[in-house]
A and B are shown apart, each in its own frame.
Chain A
Amino acid sequence: MNENGIGARVRRKEDKRFITGRGNYTDDINRHGQTHAVFLRSPHAHARIVSIDTKAAMAAGAVAVLTGKDVADAGINGLPCGWLIHNKDGSPMKEPGHPVIALDRVRHVGDIVAMVIAESKNQAKDLAELVEVDYEVLPAAVNAVEALKPGAPQVHDDVEGNLCYDWHLGEKDPVDAAFAQAAHVTKLDVYNNRLAPNAMEPRAAIGEYDRATGEHTLYTTSQNPHVIRLLMGAFVLGLPEHKLRVVSPDVGGGFGSKIFHYAEEAAVTWAAKVVGRPIKWNSDRSEAFISDAQGRDHHTHAELALDNDGKFLGFRVSTTANMGAYLSTFSTSIPTYLYATLLAGLYATPAIYAEVKAAFTNTVPVDAYRGAGRPEACFVVESIVDKAARETGRDPAALRKLNLIPASAMPYQTPVALQYDSGDFVKNIDDALKVIDYDGFPARCDASKKKGMLRGIGLSSYIEACGIAPSTVAGALGARAGLYESAEVRVHPTGSVTVFTGSHSHGQGHETTFAQIVCERLGVPIENVEVVHGDTGKIPFGMGTYGSRSLAVGGVALHNSLEKVIAKGRKIAAHMMEAAETDVEFKDGHYRVAGTDKELAFGAIALQAYVPHNFPHDELEPGLDETSFYDPKNFTYPNGCHICEVEIDPDTGVTRIERFVAVDDFGNIINPMIVEGQVHGGIMQGIGQALCEDCIYDESGQLLTGSYMDYCMPKADMVPFYEVGTNVVPCTHNALGVKGAGEAGTIGAAAAVINAIRHATGVGDIQMPATSQRVWQAINASAAQAAE
């Protein structure tokens, strides 16, 4: 194996610049003559804008104050939604307008009312206070279930009853039939708490217009600059691609929240031409809480039918998902195709039916957040399986194993549209049970009891559909875009290599992982490989990074380009060594003529490619530069088992996580260290959702947890050292055999934690986040019940 090739724990190339403060983030960029924008945002969740008076702000020195009327007058369209969902009856979902700046009506706290442009950010803030807005406050719809009831306040006049769509998946009749024969039915109601994404780097955007060339440039904190260029250029501003460049330099975390096309991006791009100067905006943390798309927020009722032996017969799920005030870019696909399709979990349940209603409310829009739909699905499935085990007096691990899809059944077609290609789910559980010493739990529990503490252990077996996605499948399901990925490999004359990828790192370490693939295939030293991403002026059209897709889709595109480079190199080598192409083999960075001692290093071939003095030009073109677009045949299906062990102080309700074990199948692994980092971070986010993170809105639609004083991020001292391992079952349908690891931790972790808490307390319906108060109340309530 190449020491920096596939499978090596290579230290991240990019970290040196990050940890020495030399990263280049959007806010580090300053353009000549730059102005600063502040967005005046609605303090009300729902109100009619009676009037806006910008005169005082202009008189006090604003470069410009732009309102919804200016946007409308300029003929700018609203922000588009990228995924069309159809109702049960086949009719399309409701897609109300999402203006770049609100016109007449504001629909959530944080909705943009005006854009104030000044010489400095602080001056823009001063001037924003001089903009007089007269609001007529309206009642707000906040909770998604309440919003769908008759008489609820209407978020959009053209969306009756606030219903965006009423969608379903699976066949209802077989499920009803299964329930009719069930020996036992377990019922569950869960609320999947709403989360704020909280990327370390707040969003930022700089718009710039070059009068000489007519070219617009947007610098933005995006996970997918080409997608932004397409959405903003073609749908919102009407700018052609060749006159619009979108640059996302280093991006400091996103967790999904930087996928979407946001109003601020369109506003700075447009207004930069209006004022004739570059415009910078960067978000404050408080602003992020009310303007970054949030995640989750599902209300779900689920029922599981079991036979006498504990086999699952049927599963039905009914979910209400909160869309917030407007449809964010991929919002509509999250509670449908990224959620209901995963409701089979790892189990061979023969009949599954899911219904999902999506509701508009006067809250911040909801969209993909790390895991996006799959954590919600996993939480429902793994909660109800645990509950069924308790109700029927079975061991939760044993009940799971009884119902798992066996490895021998692969490929396995689920009743909810997916075809799992590979995995050994039983081994995941067995390995994890061994690491945590499941059999030793009773003794550990007794030891805790002696200290006056409660102890519990909880499992969560998850599967996710990643590597998003095959374009044909996505298109058939309503995606308005393709979901392939691109990679160009440019070999330079002296043999160094630049990779241009359509994927984009926002912390995942692509500059290292992708370089390792090049290193492995071409045999060039890792320091001779540069990975370029994030600039539509440089990279081929690509779909970006989300849905754990960069390696499984972008990495395979890179692999395919490398294969093309090797093939072209072979032609050159054959010519130079005067051998038949079929006799030339490539290994360890050298082309060799089989059965002879003739060989040429890859670097020598690269040089010849650009100095083709004696090429037979009819047969052989100069150059060594290849591009591939890879569209996968199927999703990839990372899967695994998480086990959490907790100790709870019954006097305070405080939960301490004592152990956390994860055994994951990510297929082949390029860099185990980076994968472990992804798993650690993902588990941390799952624990955050389980124990403390929560967007709490009051009835008027104000976010009560709008700062770190109240929104509780998980902290390092809340968790133990994770014990993580892998169980490699290569993906069967991509050339690298990889599945992706970006979201897994978040998908599996929350249910393991909550199941452990339910086990420790004996209270089966503890909801997330299981704060100390909630756990304390639950313990008291169950004690009171026991006393009756």
Chain B
Amino acid sequence: MYAFKYHKPSSIEDAAKVFSGADDARYLSGGHTLLPSMKLRLAGPSDIVDLSGIAGLKGIKVEADKVTIGAGTRHNDVALSAEVRAAIPALADLAGGIGDFQVRNRGTIGGSIANADPSADYPAAVVGLGATVHTNKRTIAGDDFFTGMFETALEDGEIVTAVSFPRPKRAAYMKFPNPASRYAVVGVMVAETASGMRVAVTGAAASVFRVAEMEQALASNFSPDAIAGVAVPADNLNSDIHAAADYRAHLVGVMAKRAVAKAAG
């Protein structure tokens, strides 16, 4: 690791202030992406602003119409929460399928979505459930949050404070994990929400995307058969040593069908 200055502010305001006063600062949440890249000397921030001392960033609030999760909430807190499981089981399932136990005990939802790894799971929930991302400056619609590979709508220094997920009528998440890393080769969230049908795919492309054709088909017939004929073009999908684009395209179809079957019960 390169040397850096460490700060642990106790309020969001202080965090933002330290950040803007520094040369090349980074926020630190669970550290499960940032610290490995620092150890490998791929990242060398001048200042680390640790968000874990800010009480307001942690916690889960379940209301009649939505579930709000503080940015600093760990994956296991979501996965193991009985309230989340009762309100949006697909969300608890998704969180429970991230990495392994150790990863889930450190990684946070805020860190995950701010990082916007193309293979991360949470983006499928943010887009697939039509969530809203809250920051220290504004609210951002889930559909507008992810803008590309490792890119988001966040401005420099903007802090994610929470994510609220409207309760869907029914939803399910299906993931095809990379056998080495356990990140998503393909992950599909299918949800019937108040604002309509949503099918969001993570892992397959540079960034999470929705499959309109599947959404339309499911709107008239919520069954795996309804989307069996929908082929997702491989053109813009990722290709790597683990999965070529055509395999990913195929897996999107398989995972979507399985998610529909699960959501349909």
| A interface residues (Cβ-Cβ under 8 A, vs B) | 122, 125-126, 129, 286, 651-652, 691-692, 696, 704-705, 708-713, 715, 718, 771-773, 776-777
Contacts and interface: CB of A to CB of B under 8 A. Distances in A.
B41 interface: yes
Contacts of A129: 41
Nearest to A651: B254
Most B CB within 10 A of own CB, among A129, A710, A711, A718: A710
Interface stretch (B9-17, B151-159, B160-168, B237-245): B237-245
Contact of B247 (A125, A705, A708, A773): A773
A773 B180 contact: no
B176 A773 contact: no
Interface string B168-212: 000000001001110100000000000000000000000000000
B181 A708 contact: yes
Q: Which of B41, B181, B247 has the most CB of A within 10 A?
A: B247
B242 A122 contact: no
Contacts of A704: 241
A711 B254 CA distance: 25
A705 B247 CA distance: 20
5 contacts: A652-B251, A704-B241, A705-B180, A771-B242, A776-B250
Nearest to A704: B241
A696 B241 CA distance: 8
Q: Which of A651, A711, A772, A773 has the most CB of B within 10 A?
A: A773
A773 B243 contact: yes
A713 B247 CA distance: 22
B230 interface: no
B150 interface: no
B24 to A, nearest CB: 17
Nearest to B1: A122
Contact of A710 (B2, B40, B241, B250): B241
B168 to A, nearest CB: 25
A499 to B, nearest CB: 39
Contacts of B244: 773
A652 B255 CA distance: 9
Given A652-B251, A777-B247, A692 B180 contact: yes
Contacts of A777: 247
B41 A773 contact: no
A772 B250 CA distance: 12
Contacts of A713: 180
A776 B247 contact: yes
Contacts of B1: 122
A164 B181 CA distance: 37
Interface in B213-265: 241-244, 247, 250-251, 254
A708 B244 CA distance: 19
Contacts of B41: 125, 129
Nearest to A129: B41
Interface residues of B, number: 17
Nearest to A125: B41
Contacts of A709: 180-181, 183
Given A286-B40, A652-B254, A771-B242, A710 B180 contact: yes
Nearest to A711: B180
Contact of B176 (A122, A126, A652, A712): A652
Nearest to A714: B179
Contacts of B179: 691-692, 712, 715, 718, 771-772
Interface of B: 1-2, 40-41, 176, 179-181, 183, 241-244, 247, 250-251, 254
Given A125-B41, A286-B40, A711-B180, A773 B254 contact: no
A702 to B, nearest CB: 12
A618 B176 CA distance: 80
A652 to B, nearest CB: 6
Contact of B242 (A126, A708, A773): A773
A718 B177 CA distance: 13
A262 B10 CA distance: 50
Q: Which 9 A-B pairs have the closest CB atoms?
A: A712-B180, A709-B181, A712-B179, A651-B254, A773-B247, A692-B179, A710-B180, A704-B241, A696-B241
Contacts of A696: 241
B21 to A, nearest CB: 25
Contacts of B183: 709
A712 B41 CA distance: 23
B7 to A, nearest CB: 21
Contacts of A718: 179
A125 B2 CA distance: 9
A705 B179 CA distance: 13
Nearest to A286: B40
Contacts of B176: 652
A709 B99 CA distance: 11
Contacts of B241: 696, 704-705, 710
Nearest to A654: B176
Contacts of A651: 254
B260 to A, nearest CB: 14
A711 to B, nearest CB: 6
Contacts of A705: 180, 241
Nearest to B100: A715
A710 B242 contact: yes
A713 B181 CA distance: 10
A571 B95 CA distance: 73
B30 to A, nearest CB: 17
Contacts of B247: 773, 776-777
Contacts of A652: 176, 251, 254
Contacts of A692: 179-180
A712 B185 CA distance: 14
A680 to B, nearest CB: 20
B224 to A, nearest CB: 11
Given A286-B40, A696-B241, A773-B244, A126 B181 contact: no
Contacts of B181: 708-710
A691 B1 CA distance: 35
